[in-house]
Copies of this chain bind each other. A is one copy, B any other.
Amino acid sequence: MPCEFRMIHRVEFADTDMAGIIHFASYFRYMEVTEHAFFRSLGFSINTRTPEAEVGWPRVHVSCDFKRPLRFEDEVEVHLRVREKREKSLTYDFTFRKVNPSIEVAHGSLTVVCVAVDPETDQMKAVSIPDPIARQIEAAPEEVMI
């Protein structure tokens, strides 16, 4: 059962800033794009309509540690691992490795909650991860967490 996913990103010009390196917020774009590609790899869209409701995945906690800068046109491999799977939430860890030379440049995480919009109140509330999705995702084993 899938617990990880890898994806290569390239640092684009608009991802840089006047310091000549990648702007730190770009890492969150890469995390999110990788999360959504992970869902597609399982046959789902992150924007899923179940028979009961349309579910979404707002973030409740995000973080990133930066070790080395990335520069324009660098390729970076983003390695997503499911750190924790709960009834209504998922936590992903992300390791960023520059491709050439291969070197870890950053480490991030996203904790996301599965929500549905209550049609009566128009408010989002946490719901159980829909079964078809929950059955496809598991937490990565401890030993994979290097």
Is residue A146 contacting chain B, with contact meaning CB distance below 8 A?
A: no
A12-B36, A13-B46, A45-B73 are known contacts. Are A59 and B18 too (CB-CB below 8 A)? Answer: no
Is residue A61 contacting chain B, with contact meaning CB distance below 8 A?
A: yes
Q: A32 contacts which chain B residues (CB < 8 A)? A: 12-14, 25
Is residue A64 contacting chain B, with contact meaning CB distance below 8 A?
A: yes
Q: Mark A54-74, 1 if CB is under 8 A from B, else 0.
A: 001011111111110101110
Is residue A40 contacting chain B, with contact meaning CB distance below 8 A?
A: yes
What separation, in Å, do the CA atoms of A65 and B62 have in the docked complex?
A: 7
Contact size range, A: 35 or more
A25: contacting residue among B28, B47, B63, CB under 8 A:
B28
Q: How many protomers of this protein does the assembly include?
A: 4
Q: Mark A62-106, 1 if CB is under 8 A from B, else 0.
A: 111111010111000000000000000000000000000000000
Q: A47 contacts which chain B residues (CB < 8 A)? A: 13, 18, 72-73
Say how far A12's CB is from chain B's closest CB, in angstroms.
5
Is residue A124 contacting chain B, with contact meaning CB distance below 8 A?
A: yes
Q: A64 contacts which chain B residues (CB < 8 A)? A: 61-63
Q: A45 contacts which chain B residues (CB < 8 A)? A: 72-73
Say how far A19's CB is from chain B's closest CB, in angstroms.
5
Say how far A112's CB is from chain B's closest CB, in angstroms.
10
> Contact at B12–A58, with CB atoms within 8 Å?
no
> Contact at B28–A58, with CB atoms within 8 Å?
no
